[in-house]
């Protein structure tokens, strides 16, 4: 079977497609994490199977705001934010130009008709 160049990368992507861990992977990680804690932790298993637990855990993760520290990650995040700001202003500038252009075109066409 011949592989054309353009298909090769597609085949490579398909071959290396991410594979999910075993079903009990999360439980094993939690069990080992619990064993690291000084006090015994009660972990309700298989809570992770219940959608409500997913939502709660996701909410806790989002809510866990740790004061930003001076770090490489923070610096990169700020650079991304500045780039996003630049793009936002450009997008709004283009929007304004196009809305104004539309208004001018409508006015021009209206005058032509009249």
Partner 1 sequence: MKKIWLLLTLVLSLAPLPLAAQDGFDFKTLDKLGVNAKNRTNITLDSNMLKMAAGFLGDDKESEPLRSLVDGLKGIYVRSYEFTKTGQYNESDLEPLRAYLKQAQWNRIVESKSDEESSEVYLQPAGANRLGGVAIISSEPREVTVVYISGNLKPEDIAKLSGNMGIPDIGSGRKDRKAKAKKDDE
Partner 2 sequence: MVFSLALRFVRDRAGAEELAQDVFLQLYRQLSRIESPAHATWWLRRAVCHRSIDEVRKRKLRPRVGLESAPEPADKTATPDLLLQDRLRKLVGLLPEKARMVVLLRYQEDLDPSEIAETLAMPVSTVKSHLHRSLTLLRGKLQKQEVCS
Q: Contact residues for partner 1 (CB under 8 A)?
A: 17-18, 20, 25-26, 29-30, 33-34, 37, 41, 43, 48, 53-54, 56-58, 60-61, 64, 77, 80-82, 84-85, 87-103, 105-106, 108-109
Q: State the Cα–Cα distance between residues 112 and 114, nearest whole angstrom.
A: 5
Q: State the Cα–Cα distance between residues 106 and 17, nearest whole angstrom.
A: 52
For residue 17, the Cα-to-chain-centroid distance in whole angstroms is 19
Instruction: Specify the residue, 3 or 43, whose C-beta has the smaller distance to partner 1.
Output: 43
**Which residues are near partner 2 by CB under 8 A?**
1-3, 5, 8-9, 11-22, 25, 28-29, 32-33, 36, 61-62, 66, 68-69, 73-74
Contacts for 111 with CB less than 8 Å, ≥ 6 apart: none
């Amino acid at each position: 079977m011949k592989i054309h160049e353009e298909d090769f990368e597609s085949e490579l992507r398909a071959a290396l497609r991410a594979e999910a861990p075993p079903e009990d992977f999360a439980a094993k990680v939690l069990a080992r994490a619990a064993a690291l804690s000084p006090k015994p932790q009660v972990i309700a298993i298989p809570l992770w199977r219940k959608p409500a637990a997913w939502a709660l855990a996701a909410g806790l993760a989002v809510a866990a705001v740790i004061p930003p520290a001076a770090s490489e990650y923070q610096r990169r995040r700020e650079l991304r934010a500045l780039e996003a700001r630049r793009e936002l202003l450009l997008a709004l500038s283009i929007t304004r130009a196009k809305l104004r252009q539309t208004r001018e075109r409508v006015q021009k066409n209206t005058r032509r008709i009249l």
